[in-house]
Chains A and B, each alone.
Chain A
Amino acid sequence: MKKTSMILLAGGQGTRMKQDIPKQFLLLYGRPIIVHVLEKIEHIPEIEEVVISCPEQYIERTLELIEVYGLKKNILCIAGGETRQESTFKALEHVRNESVIIHEAARPFVTVSDFMNIMKDSEENITYALDIPFTVLKGEGYIIENLKRSELINVQLPQKFNVSELKSAHNWAVANNKNSFTEDASLLFEHSGASIKIMKGNDYNLKITTPFDFKIAPTIYQEYFIGE
């Protein structure tokens, strides 16, 4: 299997969680959320390096956790950007392999298999996604268009990309002042129409964003990870 790099986006500031500390440091069943992710990566030797992008003031705390939890992976922690897009752009500069997995620290329920399945796949660009189980319409104040939910996907991380292609897309976005992409599959596709495979994600691979997510997270953990 091809060696790969990983970018772990840990840009949380705690705003939407209404907490003083960023969500990646909140304890889920006794361990910080980011540690749940890093400990899974620890079991995947094919991931050669991890670039963690986080707010500058939390670099020290992140490094401390890496030390305390005895993580041996080659991990670089850098200051992220003003936006998620900029954080990925900055992290890409440190990536040394031709393939990169992008994941978020706020998705602790990712499994080793989730990473392995996209790494094993021969396609270079892959995103996980879920079906849309509800009706979606386009509108701003008033409905302006019906959308076919069967043609839509709910993008889920992790994703895998060819590094050169993704770097080109980011450089294009910077040059053209396109800075509102919230994830990288849409950015890459917008830039080049690149072929991006969709793989079916998991319902439980929740992104912890709101206090409600954090409330239900222990139940997901107990159900899917420790089998209770």
Chain B
Amino acid sequence: MKTCIISGASKGIGRAIAIELSKSERSIEKFILISRSITELEKTKGFMDTSSLVELYSIDFANIEETQEQLASLFKDNDADILINCAGYVEPRSILETTIENWETTFKVNVSSMFLITKEAVKTMKSSGGKIINISSTAGMSARPGWSAYAASKAAVINFSETLSEELKEYGIKVYCVSPGRCATDLRKKLAPNEDPSTIMQPEDIAGVVRSLIPASGDFLDGQNIVVRQQVKSY
């Protein structure tokens, strides 16, 4: 029985991934969804295939101590076969407006929590292999004036993923990074409030890419930073 853990599953890309995998990936029999809001997770569960076994965990990744305790409890009873790290936080500000609190919260949610949950997952995966998919962003690959904390945290996610891919190879653990470009999520609204969300990628598009990594055919992309961008045709 394969268990898939998805963080940040209460909305956006995380929710879309949970829904997509529950409907199309029959090898997964149990989903563990994590987010701050149980209410929103309940909504995600409502959209998922009803035959899926789904457990919900409320964890505030901005609180590292609480996160460690909750993860210890989660992994006491569960092994992970697939881990999808999707939790994200953004508060776009210029360098002069960025406070240490803002910077730290961004890194706690986007990087430190990913490190903590990945470390626990690896303990359970190291004897039989597994897949780890980290959702980063194209913001982690190039300059984004006004988004320094977010962009730096996403750059960290990309390198964290690439490094782990090498480090965990002997355990049969595949590690991927998926870096979407502009995608219609609440997080994107904060970054680009005036953008029409219907003109950019949808969370379901990213979920489709993630789904393609789950079967054995996805093994060949191990270690890649997979950039997902919408093709824009202009005439």
Residue numbers of A with Cβ under 8 A of B are: 29-31, 70, 225-226
Give the nearest-CB partner of A69 in chain B: B126
Is there an interface contact between A30 and B166, defined as CB atoms closer than 8 Å? yes
Contacts of A31 in B (CB 8 A): 167
Is there an interface contact between A29 and B126, defined as CB atoms closer than 8 Å? no
Cα A182 to Cα B163 with chains together (Å)? 39
Contacts of B169 in A (CB 8 A): 226
Cα A24 to Cα B4 with chains together (Å)? 35
Say if the beta carbon of B190 comes within 8 Å of chain A: no
13 of the cross-chain contacts (CB-CB < 8 Å) are: A29-B166, A29-B167, A29-B170, A30-B163, A30-B166, A30-B167, A31-B167, A70-B123, A70-B126, A225-B170, A226-B166, A226-B169, A226-B170
The number of inter-chain residue pairs (CB within 8 angstroms) is 13
Chain B stretch 165-179: residues in CB contact (< 8 A) with chain A: 166-167, 169-170
CB distance from B99 to the nearest CB of A (A): 34
CB distance from A53 to the nearest CB of B (A): 26
Cα A30 to Cα B167 with chains together (Å)? 6
Residue numbers of B with Cβ under 8 A of A are: 123, 126, 163, 166-167, 169-170
Contacts of B163 in A (CB 8 A): 30
Contacts of A225 in B (CB 8 A): 170
CB distance from A217 to the nearest CB of B (A): 14
Assuming A30-B163, A226-B166, what are 11 further A-B pairs, CB within 8 angstroms?
Answer: A29-B166, A29-B167, A29-B170, A30-B166, A30-B167, A31-B167, A70-B123, A70-B126, A225-B170, A226-B169, A226-B170
Cα A31 to Cα B163 with chains together (Å)? 12
Contacts of B170 in A (CB 8 A): 29, 225-226
Give the nearest-CB partner of A27 in chain B: B167
CB distance from A111 to the nearest CB of B (A): 12
Give the nearest-CB partner of A42 in chain B: B127
Give the nearest-CB partner of B119 in chain A: A68
Q: Pick from B123, B126, B163, B169 the residue with the most CB of A within 10 Å.
A: B169
Contacts of A30 in B (CB 8 A): 163, 166-167
Contacts of A226 in B (CB 8 A): 166, 169-170
CB distance from B215 to the nearest CB of A (A): 21
Contacts of A70 in B (CB 8 A): 123, 126
Cα A84 to Cα B123 with chains together (Å)? 34
Cα A226 to Cα B166 with chains together (Å)? 9
Contacts of B166 in A (CB 8 A): 29-30, 226
Give the nearest-CB partner of A30 in chain B: B167
Contacts of B167 in A (CB 8 A): 29-31
Cα A31 to Cα B126 with chains together (Å)? 13
Cα A225 to Cα B123 with chains together (Å)? 20
Contacts of A29 in B (CB 8 A): 166-167, 170
Cα A31 to Cα B169 with chains together (Å)? 12
Give the nearest-CB partner of A70 in chain B: B123
Cα A29 to Cα B170 with chains together (Å)? 10
Give the nearest-CB partner of A228 in chain B: B169
Give the nearest-CB partner of A43 in chain B: B127
CB distance from A42 to the nearest CB of B (A): 8
Cα A29 to Cα B126 with chains together (Å)? 15
Cα A97 to Cα B104 with chains together (Å)? 54
Cα A210 to Cα B88 with chains together (Å)? 45
CB distance from B151 to the nearest CB of A (A): 26
CB distance from A40 to the nearest CB of B (A): 10
CB distance from B128 to the nearest CB of A (A): 11
Contacts of B123 in A (CB 8 A): 70
Cα A29 to Cα B171 with chains together (Å)? 12
